[in-house]
Amino acid sequence: MTEDAATPPTPEHASRTSRGEPSTFLEAIAEALFEEMIRDEAVLLLGEDIGEYGGAFKVTRGFLDRFGPDRVVDTPIAEAGFTGLAAGAAHVGLRPVVEMQFMDFISPAYDVITNYIATSRYRGAGAQPLVIRGPVGGGGRAGPFHSQNVEMAFFHTPGLNIVYPSTARDAKGLLKAAIRSDEPVIFEEHKGLYRAPFLREVLPVDDLVIPLGKARTAREGEDVTVVTYGMMVHRCLAAARSLEEEGVSVEVVDLRTLLPLDDDHIMESVRKTGRLLIVHEDTRTGGIAGEIAIRVNEQAFEWLDAPIARVTAPDAPVPYAPDLEDAFLPDEAEIARAVRYLAKY
Amino acid sequence: MTPGISHMDGEAGSSPPAVPLPDLVRVLQQLFLSRALTRAVPEHGLRAWPVPRSSAVPLAEGILDAAAVCAATMMRAPSREHGGGSSEFLATSPHLPGGALARGVTAQRWLAGAVGPPVPGSDPAPPWGPIPSLGLPGPFPFPGIAVQVLAGMTLPQQDPDGSPGTLHWPAVGVVVAHRSALTSGAVHEGFNLAAVRRSALVLVLGSTEDGPPGEGSPPRPELDDVAEAYGVRAVRASALDIPILLGELGRGLASVRRGEGPLLMEVDARPGEDGIRDPLTVLRDRVIRAREADAATVAELEEDARLELDEAIRRISNPTSGYIGGTGPASPPPEGASP
């Protein structure tokens, strides 16, 4: 992209790819937002402290200088209000991207998201091209108000898409696709991945758009399929590497998009291995594992050689205490134990 | 100052700018029909939405209907069908007949929506169907979401012909709700955002109980407080004087189009000298007195509304229309009652 002398500079963290440098997960998100705002003037950002302060995690640092206060909108602490405002903006041709400072705070906006935004097209009221994005997940010693995963609060609401990437590449490509989608998208970003050094990668210079609704195989294997997403992809990959030394070949499927689920990809892997473990950081009851298990039961039961198993967080709020939080979150050892059980079944 | 209107930020003794008024006979026609619809549901025993005919606040429907009809009348191009490309949006509860009529819904369609969905397998030929919130991505049963969404629809945008930072207001919106909407936090969130972002939004709040006596009174203190808190203007217009209400809405719409920020408007009825507290009755008398239509023509308009309603009722009563219930008691007759 070209910049004249009067144009405020492109934020350094949102332009690593153009310099051939590797990007973190967070920088990939910043790049996606920045590039989409350059590409389409209808894209605007709304959220608490995203302008002057650059966002709680500094995703939008420097965006206000570049795009001005009408496209980088600092909002009051009023999640319902600014999500509703975004819905209105989406109706008149804009493409709002709402940042929840922490996704835990999305609950005040549940009404407008589920009753209004999600139902809009079904009511004949037209598309709602908007994205609601923000940090999720535990491990940061942030307790129950800043560590939740919110996907299942919205999973059963027709009309929504839910995306939960696990790599910098996917974060950028999926976010760009979400912004270009005519459907409302809830985009979850695990804060533990934001600056994870192992996720730094050089991203393609070309316009990187990854279609929504498509899972990917993060690791190929023959004995057991592990279906997962987000931070747990990396725990499962670590478990798979250690199990390989024991002679167990694990296939890891990264869902990337939770709603709609990529049934075809899941079934293909299950039919290959005959064994399925589902892993999620979200709590157990009403977790996505239940939905995936019943779909496999419906579509691939004859291929199963073992019961479907799951590793999840327990049914409890995310604890403050470090020891308790460590025990709360699924870890590599738990995953490996479950895979061994299935492999030997 | 024009009788019946108070401007919070107006200069004492100054006259507000003149606003060309529309055809009052047309407004009267709409009010006749909305009144007929309001009364039809309980009078015909339709299974329907709870239209509060016997509310403890007898002016409820009259005031909100008048506000909705007048708002739509003063909008440049009130939408007749969703997707028509209008940039003027009116949000009311779908249950408010005046609001539905103002958005272009026919009496038959409103009643069809009131009666309920068609019997499965029947042929719900047009115009039967759910009540659309015409011109709007509605319906808006909850005023909070209406205020939030319209605040977003009426955001200022970069003027395509202006220098960077030059804004214009390509869309305006009016939300008509009962004053009790101010008890909703969602309404406050939406209106606060409208104020912060200077959305082109008029929030019309109908007060259905008597206000403090005296024409020209300012908005109730609690509305003034809300407006002051959000740094917006508040005005009050009497629902009993339709020309004044139309004028105030016209000025309000013009001001939000100019980017002066959202407007809070109270519409109510306050005890007057003649004791008549019904917008429809007052307007009918005025139209006749001012010779805008003679008494016979006005009577004909009222009769037309009744005939349109009768036709709508007849079609709903027709079993082939496919609607559950049709006419008849809203609940089964008591045991032992004669057929």
In a domain, A315, yes or no: yes
Chosen domain end from A168, A199, A230: A199
pTM: 0.86
DSSP-derived letter for residue A321 is S
Distance from CA of A73 to the nearest CA of B (A): 9
My answer on whether A80 and A221 are in the same domain is no
Q: Interface pTM (ipTM) of the complex?
A: 0.88
Beta-carbon-side half-sphere exposure of residue B24 (alpha carbons within 13 Å) = 25
Beta-carbon-side half-sphere exposure of residue B2 (alpha carbons within 13 Å) = 22
Element holding A98 (H helix, E strand): strand A95-99
In a domain, A205, yes or no: no
DSSP-derived letter for residue A308 is -
In this predicted structure, what is the pLDDT of residue B76?
60
My answer on whether A158 and A61 are in the same domain is yes
Residue-range definition of the domain harbouring residue A283: 216-343
Long-range contacts of A235-244 (CB under 8 A, 24+ apart): A235/A279, A235/A330, A235/A331, A235/A332, A235/A335, A236/A279, A236/A335, A238/A332, A239/A332, A239/A333, A239/A335, A239/A336, A239/A339, A240/A339, A242/A332, A242/A336, A243/A336, A243/A339, A243/A340, A243/A343
Whether A125 sits inside 8 A of B171 (CB atoms) is: no
Mean pLDDT of chain B: 74
Distance from CA of A137 to the nearest CA of B (A): 28
Number of domains in chain A: 2
pLDDT per residue, tens digit, chain A (345 aa), is 455 667 888 999 999 999 999 999 999 999 999 999 999 999 999 999 999 999 999 999 999 999 999 999 999 999 999 999 999 999 888 999 999 999 999 999 999 999 999 988 887 778 899 999 999 999 999 999 999 999 999 999 999 999 999 999 999 999 999 999 999 999 999 999 999 999 999 999 999 999 999 999 999 999 999 999 999 999 999 999 999 999 999 999 999 999 999 999 999 999 999 999 999 999 999 999 999 999 999 999 999 999 999 999 999 999 999 999 999 999 999 999 999 999 999
β-strand A43-47 against A257-259: which pairing, if any?
Answer: unpaired
My answer on whether A174 and A243 are in the same domain is no
Whether A88 sits inside 8 A of B149 (CB atoms) is: yes
In a domain, A182, yes or no: yes
Residues of B within 8 A of A94 (CB-CB) are 155, 157
Whether A88 sits inside 8 A of B189 (CB atoms) is: no
Torsions phi, psi for A282 (to 5 deg): -65, 165
| Confidence category of residue B120, pLDDT binned at 50, 70, 90 | low
In this predicted structure, what is the pLDDT of residue B37?
85
Active site residue A146: yes
CATH number at residue A246: 3.40.50.920
Tokens of A48: 């608490």
Residues of A within 8 A of B105 (CB-CB) are none
Q: Are B65 and B35 spatial neighbours (Cβ–Cβ below 8 Å)?
A: yes
Question: What's the CA gap between B256 and B76, in Å, rounded?
Answer: 13
Q: Which of A13, A91, A146, A190 is catalytic?
A: A146
My answer on whether A270 and A144 are in the same domain is no
In a domain, A147, yes or no: yes
Whether B151 sits inside 8 A of A84 (CB atoms) is: yes
My answer on whether A190 and A151 are in the same domain is yes
Distance from CA of B245 to the nearest CA of A (A): 27
In a domain, A4, yes or no: no
Chosen domain end from A199, A232, A264: A199
My answer on whether A53 and A146 are in the same domain is yes
A228/B contact by beta carbon, under 8 A? no
In a domain, A3, yes or no: no
Whether B171 sits inside 8 A of A81 (CB atoms) is: no
Q: Is the predicted pLDDT of residue B45 greater than 50, yes or no?
A: yes
Preceding amide of B22 cis, omega within 30: no
My answer on whether A59 and A186 are in the same domain is yes
Q: Are A120 and A160 spatial neighbours (Cβ–Cβ below 8 Å)?
A: no
My answer on whether A336 and A233 are in the same domain is yes
A40/B contact by beta carbon, under 8 A? no
In a domain, A160, yes or no: yes
CATH number at residue A99: 3.40.50.970
Q: Are B280 and B31 spatial neighbours (Cβ–Cβ below 8 Å)?
A: yes
**Of A85, A115, A126, which is closest to B152 when you measure between CB atoms?**
A85
Residues B65-73: what's their mean pLDDT? Answer: 88
